[in-house]
Amino acid sequence: MTTNPAPHHETYPLGLRVGGRLAVVVGGGPVAARRSRGLLDAGAHVRVVAPVVCEDLAGLTASDGVDWVRRDYLTGDLDGAWLAHTATGDAEVDARVAADAEADRVFCVTAGDAELGTAWVPAVARTRVPGADGTDASSGAEVSVAVNAGRDPRRAQRVRDAVAVRLATGELPLRAVRVAPGSDAAPDEATAGEARTGGTVGSVALVGGGPGDTGLISVRGRRLLAEADVVVTDRLGPRGLLDELADDVVVVDVGKTPGNHPVPQAEINAVLVQHALAGRRVVRLKGGDPYVFGRGGEELDACREHGIPVEVVPGVTSAVSVPAAAGIPVTHRGLSRGFTVLTGHEDVGKVPAASDHTVVLLMGVSGLAETADALVAQGRAAETPVAVVEDGYGPRQRTTVGTLATIADRAREAGVRPPAVTVVGEVVRLSPAWEGDATP
């Protein structure tokens, strides 16, 4: 003789396909209305048994085809039902519905007394993600997370809400892992140009990752990263996020250093196109913003030439964020009315020489002396404050200050090295580094 062991859990979680099946809701109040709406959304045929119904439920019966039996509950009303839900507010009626459901072997949710029920409605968080066949999120698969919390609905709702936020931001893994029927190849095992999704073209997202801090990427960018099959990354992007990717996500490093471009831009473009044409979701993870000296426009053009859908996700540009990390606003009332961003010293002669105009230089460490001389020659005072901010938001962030006359020597003495952003203008005086410098 065998006996069933004592249960370890009170419930056995599962999802119910109620589409086209009868679900009986007993009661006419707001709870019954919410449950009826949920059942309708799942495709169930809903029958409401109640002498009167609230306004929301009346709207469902009028416009959504809900059957309304306008009387009190009677034994036999559950005939043919797959699921029952009672929320009458009358303990005696709810108990009778639960007893009839038990006799008819119909699972029953009892809103008034969970002890009477044989089923419970969890708190649910839902989000849509791209399907494994390459469909976009609007028409792709749905991820549903159901939370039961020991019959404590408020606790379940709080956990649900926390999960929903992480789903929306991409902090939870959202990427589809099932591939085309009959194939179990990982993305990097597919032959180049051969779509693993049965010929469906994939997509490319040009995602601005910000100055490198993992918390400064946008919510949209973080989510796309969580859904990606392939990530093509820069050296200055938020590389810490790569550690969160699944092992089978292909990561292609095309990072550049000053004077060293191991992967030419044309080859980067080809990598994006190749993987997208193979049916994969590709994220081009870039430092800063894709369109601020990021060559995002060239990558966009290359993809569009091949009919690949492209999404551009703006990022926090280092031209503004790195000075801010050092306490320097690029504009400030009374000090600066505008700013210009350049990548070197060649065009500084075209920048307004007014003292209330800030100049921000990206990738300009090696030519700092020439830049300072050119600005002075253009009419800037030699005493104009300058700050060089290294590794903004990174572990070795440091600010070196001086003037156009002294900054090149100071940077050389301090051993300043890329990545660094240089700020020229009166706004540098607002930096704590300037205030703490005895001889600027």
Which of 100, 133, 229, 234 is an active site residue?
A: 234
Contacts of 380 (CB under 8 A, 6+ apart): 353, 355, 404, 424
Q: Is the peptide bond before 419 cis (omega within 30 degrees of 0)?
A: yes
Bridge partners for 129 per DSSP: 141
CB atoms within 10 A of CB 387: 28
Task: Give the residue among 288, 296, 308 at the shortest CA–CA distance from 136.
Answer: 308
Which of 256, 356, 373, 437 is an active site residue?
A: 256
CA distances from 282 to 33, 124, 142, 279, 314 (A): 43, 30, 20, 9, 16
Kind plus residue range of the DSSP H or E element containing 385:
strand 385-390
Rounded (5°) CA angle 118-159-157? 60
Burial of 311 (0-12, 13-18, 19+ CB in 10 A): middle
Measured CA to CA, the distance from residue 259 to residue 262 in angstroms comes to 10
SS3 content of the chain, % helix, strand, coil (to 5): 30, 20, 50
Measured CA to CA, the distance from residue 132 to residue 281 in angstroms comes to 10
Question: In the 8-state DSSP scheme, what is residue 32?
Answer: H
End-to-end alpha-carbon separation of the chain, Å? 91
In the residue annotation, 256 being an active-site residue is answered as yes
Measured CA to CA, the distance from residue 375 to residue 434 in angstroms comes to 20
User: Which of the residues are catalytic?
Assistant: 234, 256
